Structure 1
Amino acid sequence: MKNKSYLLIAALFLTSTAVFGQQITEKPKLVVGIVVDQMKQEYLTRFYDNFGEGGFKRLVEEGFMASNAHYNYAATSTGPGHASIYTGTTPSVHGIVENNWYSRLLKRSVYCAEDTAARAIGGSISAGQISPKNLYSSTITDELKLYTQKRSKVIAMSIKDRGSALPGGHLSDGSYWYDSNTGNFMTSTYYMNELPAWVKDFNNQKKADQYLDMTWDLMLPSDKYAASGVDNSEFERGFSGKETPTFPYHLKELRTTNRNYSLLPNTPFGNSILTDLALASIDAENLGDDAITDFLAISYSSTDYVGHNFGPHSKEVQDIYLRLDKDLATLFASLDAKLGKGQYTVFLSADHAVAENSIRMKNDGFRADNANLGAMRQNVTEALAAKFGDKKWIESFSETIHLNHDLIASEGIDLYAMQIFIAEKMMEQEGVYIALTARDLVRNDFSRGAKQLIQNAFHTKESGDVIVVLDPAWQLGGSKGTGHGSPWTYDTHIPILFYGWGIKQGKSVREIHITDIAPSISMLLNMRLPNGSTGQVIQELFK
């Protein structure tokens, strides 16, 4: 009897060990990271009734949705957004403080994904100096490569180069972006010396020309667009060569007056051609074909182009999301067929949200307007001249102000005193909410509100001397279209969706941050976090 008990205990031990081992070693065949440029969380609900069953609805109803997800820093733009999603930290650590910023060291503007040592492969020379080298931290894609001894494959793609280079990380097997000069997808010598055969074959299909021969019209009957405003709003820009910003758009005619291949990203078909490339990469790179998890990073940029052009209440924006929904359904159906439903993990988010048109808000009675940056600079320059003398104290002036440190030191002026003086003068300007000095951002620990978000966006080496934030609903820009980049909720509130292998169905309304995606994926894959990660694991995700 005793022997039988020992045998039973041993059998139970072996079984539990096998189950535990299976839980540790099992992983999804493929992780698909999807970033939708300029997507507000509210687009999911505003357009939900007109979505099909296989795209956004599949993620919401069968996966996990964080309804109250936000960016936890100011400077909500494309470069910082992609970097934060994939590093699990804020610009204060990863260093991508804007799409472009002034470098005190180089005395010029720096682009977030620029690499002057890289050269174009498969595209125009001007579009080839691209890599992730400006990142100060690793990405989840880097960590996957390191964890698997570089046996995992990481493929990244976007219309925008920064939407590909930053998510792909330092160890990407191939990061590709659209060349608006040729209509082809390209890369740089940072990654390879020649395009793979499958990318060459894809380019040879001339899909950009095929899409630009099409007409962009409403996908559904016009009565299905009640969630949007009129089709000829005074706040929409439209396209050169067409008198009104109204459907239909005959792309074959418009490409001649809208820089040829540059027109494609400004239409829903920019998303479609990227989906085509993603499907080609899955087959050609054999993604998910073995026991080692691969990673496919896709960034849909055309939503941002259309959003800037037409604004968040336009029928054009609603239509591009309805069409993106179909593209996602096509992508997921292909993954089901190739890998099997439930054998891959998807996350979907956005690199930032978007503001309302400030003039529209003003006309509706809100305390809003467009700020005049030129007038602000003139006022500050005159005040500096009156107090410190008429010299070139300012090296760069925007919502981040850089001062000439060498000149200030040579004149024996206290740098902090000048920073405070400028911050105070900026807060006297109409439309300015707050201005904080670099010294205060370094020495203080702000725990809430806009100050905390500004601090999370401040990098000690890359940021300037005075950081300026405009009042809610104020922007820099014209009367048409719209923008983003503020710490206010209309720019920070974005979707975070997870679906597939290892994901528990559900939703949460607690505040979840964009920096929580990377550590959650790291836990899902049982690997270490990106080396600068400051986000928290979304515990509700896990089965």
Structure 2
Amino acid sequence: MIFKKTFILFFIIFSAVNAQQKGDQKKAEKKTKLVVGIVVDQMRYDYLTRFYNKYGTGGFKKIISNGFSCNNHHFDYIPTNTGPGHASIFTGTTPRYHGIIGNIWYDREKKEKIYCVSDSDVSPTGTSSPDGKMSPSLLKLTTIADQNRIHTQMKGKSISIGLKERGAILSGGHTANAAYWFRGKAQGNWISSSFYMDRLPKWVIDFNESELIDSYYKTWNTLYDINTYDESGPDFTNFERGFKGKEKAVFPYDLDKLKNLNGEYDIITRTPFGNSLTTNFAIKAIEEEKLGKDNHTDFLMISFSSTDYIGHNFGVNSKEIEDTYIRLDKDIELLIKKLDFFVGKEEYILFLTSDHGATHVPSYLKTKKIPSGYFKEATIHLELKNYIQKLYKRDSIIENISNHQVFLNYELINKLQLDSKKIQKEIADYLFQKKQINRVFTRSQIEASDFSSIIGSKIKKGFDPKRSGDVCYVLTPSTITYSKTGSAHSSGYIYDTHVPLLFYGSNIKKGITNKSTFVSDIAPTIAVLLGISFPNGTTGNVISEVTE
């Protein structure tokens, strides 16, 4: 009798364990139908916490409460700009390896500045403008979306969308089925290039020809009573630029009246309606491209760019920024509802992050007695050139100064048999004497050192040996090269590096981590979740708390 009871008990336990194991195995083997990568341009981490009480339950809060949040997530390189940010998120490495060292940089061979996604060898699609002559040709590595395409024998789709071409193109990588960006001005259409297609799909043409885009020529007022916007500064300050044709940067803004003085359709992208336009276009892409509807994992990359334009215009402490994120929360809620309905709950993975943060407006910080300032770049550069010219009796030793980097004229230096390392040091010593310059690094230092200092390490991770300059300088905290209205970014300081990282959806466990995570960790983490190869230049680590 005892034996019988023991056997029955053993059988019940064995069956339960076996069922659990089968359930876990089934869950593990369940293929993710769609990965949605969201990049919110210029989103500081504290926008999640500052405006938390204003968010609804279906957007940011839903992702946080039902997903995984990395609360101490950073960029670990300089410069923190849009092009490098998007490239780093999706390649799993830093500019030192993927090559996108800025939005624009000086090309030694061409002797001119080049844009990070410009490509004279392709043709515009959906426009006659050179705004369509774009591709990922300057990106040296594969992205996580590229790896998925290769893994699925090119059967999994990749669609990338963003108001800015660099946001859309660098996210999608080299094998995307399509990348779409928005051409404002007098056209007001989503466009692409011949790198992806010779003609826009009918659904894109229909979207462009619909009345939806023009419907955003309306009044931008606060979504809720402006008197409840306690998380931001006064509506009128001297730290905001605003729009041409309106005397003060205060709500409301009548876009229909202001459009002719503000780039016509461009003004839509400079308001929260640009995010709504992006959301509606992304939803149409999900429907028309049937993303997540077969047995092959698809990728959809969405870059919300209006947040950056608004931050540059009004600053991170403005009422306009608060209203923008309250409205973006609604857009993300709409997107999640569409994904749940069209793809299915627990059938997709969504991650949300940013390409960089932003500083408070220095002129505002000064009123609070916080050290900050504006760097007179043109003056310092001219003084440096004059100094080197006087020292060597030559006026072309310095070939270019841009992006806080000095490029030497090696052709002339070699011809005169000068010591390039000595020149680098002389330039570095001169710049270091300037009050608003915090650190200076020479090419010789960067290439020879692994750097124990945080700033030095960030400079090296953003330094491409072939594309970067010969001397790099770092400004003091909260010192920027920008107008005295609006916020800026590009430094390696916390306000520019600390951004959100949220994971949500299929096989994502609920939780948070306060340990340090970095931008290059995102792509390998997604790769492990999908069971595919890492991008081919990955240097980041898997965030194990998300995958276990």
- Please tell me the TM-score bracket, short chain as reference: over 0.9
Contact 2:528 2:547 in 1 (8 A): no
- Aligned residue among 341, 344, 348 for 2:348: 344
User: 1:19-168 residue pairs with structure 2 within 5 A?
Assistant: 22=26, 25-168=29-172
2:295 matches 1:291: yes
**Quick one: distance in 2 between partners of 1:279 and 1:218?**
25
* Shift in Å, 1:18: 6.6
Q: Secondary structure at the match of 1:102?
A: strand
Q: Is 1:437 the counterpart of 2:435 in the alignment?
A: no
Q: Aligned in 2, Cα 1:389/1:228: closer, same or farther, shift over 3 Å?
A: same
Q: What's the counterpart of residue 334 of structure 1?
A: 338
* 1:309 maps to 2:308: no
Structure 1, residues 476-517: CA drift from partner, whole Å, max 9, x if none? Answer: 122111210000000000000000101110011111101110
| Equivalent residues of 2:525, 2:547 under 8 A apart | no
Distance 1:11 1:503, change over 3 A: closer
- Counterpart of 2:505 in structure 1 is 500
Gapped regions of structure 1 (runs ≥ 5)? none
2:310–2:320 CA contact under 8 A, matched in 1: yes
Which of 457, 467, 477 aligns to 1:462? It is 467
Distance apart, 1:443 and its partner CA: 1.2
1:271 is the counterpart of 2:265:
no
State percent identity of aligned pairs: 40
Q: Which runs of 4+ in 1 moved over 3 A?
A: 10-25
Match of 1:491 in 2: 496
Q: Deviations over 1:165-216 (max 9, x none)?
A: 001110001100001131100000000111011111111103221101x110
Q: Would you say the 8 A contact 1:358–1:368 is kept in 2?
A: yes
State the 1:88 CA deviation.
0.4
CA separation in 2, counterparts of 1:19 and 1:510? 31
Say how many residue pairs are matched: 536
Question: What secondary structure is seen at the aligned counterpart in 1 of 2:72?
Answer: strand
Q: TM-score normalized by structure 2?
A: 0.95
Q: How far did residue 401 of structure 1 move?
A: 1.0
Moved more, 16-25 or 467-476: 16-25
Which residue of the partner structure matches residue 199 of structure 1?
A: 204
Counterpart check, 1:511 vs 2:516? yes
Distance 2:27 2:95 in 1: 35
Q: Shift in Å at residue 386 of structure 1?
A: 2.5
Corresponding residue of 1:420: 425
Q: How does 1:443-458 map to 2 (within 5 A)?
A: 443-458=448-463
- In structure 1, what is the Cα distance between the partners aligned to 2:207 and 2:379? 49
Cα distance, 1:481–1:444 mapped onto 2, change above 3 Å = same
SS of 1:143 mapped into structure 2 = helix
For structure 2, the 5+ residue unaligned runs are 1-6
State the distance in 2 between where 1:486 and 1:428 align.
20
Tell me what 1:231 maps to: 235
Deviations 1:68-95, CA, capped at 9 Å, x for gaps: 1100101000000000000000000000
| Matched residue type, 1:383 | Y
Aligned to 1:325: 329
Q: What's the offset of the Cα at 1:379?
A: 1.9
Maintained 8 Å contact 2:438/2:474: yes
> In structure 2, the residue corresponding to 1:260 is in which secondary structure?
coil
* 1:11 Cα deviation after fit: 11
2:406, 2:472 within 8 Å by CA — same for their partners in 1?
A: yes
Shift in Å at residue 29 of structure 1? 1.1
Select 2:386's aligned residue among 382, 389, 410: 382
More moved, 11-20 vs 345-354: 11-20
1:188 paired with 2:193, answer yes
SS for the counterpart of 1:291 is: coil
Contact preservation (8 Å) 1:156, 1:165: yes
Alpha-carbon distance, 1:23 to partner: 5.2
Q: Does the 8 Å contact 2:106/2:112 carry over to 1? A: yes
CA distances 1:331-357 after superposition (whole Å, capped 9, x unpaired): 001111112211111000000000111
> Which residue of the partner structure matches residue 521 of structure 1?
526
Q: Are the structure 2 counterparts of residues 137 and 499 from structure 1 closer, same or farther at C-alpha, using a change threshold of 3 Å? A: same
- For residues 51 and 265 of structure 2, the distance between their equivalents in structure 1, rounded to whole angstroms, comes to 29
Tell whether the 8 Å contact from 1:121 to 1:128 is kept in structure 2 after alignment. Answer: yes
Q: What is the deviation of 1:219? A: 0.3
- 1:247 deviates by 0.3
CA contact (8 A) 1:156 1:167 kept: yes
Q: Give the root-mean-square deviation of aligned CA atoms.
A: 1.9
Cα shift at 1:533: 0.5
1:402 matched to which residue of 2?
Answer: 407
TM-score of the aligned structures, taking structure 1 as reference length: 0.96
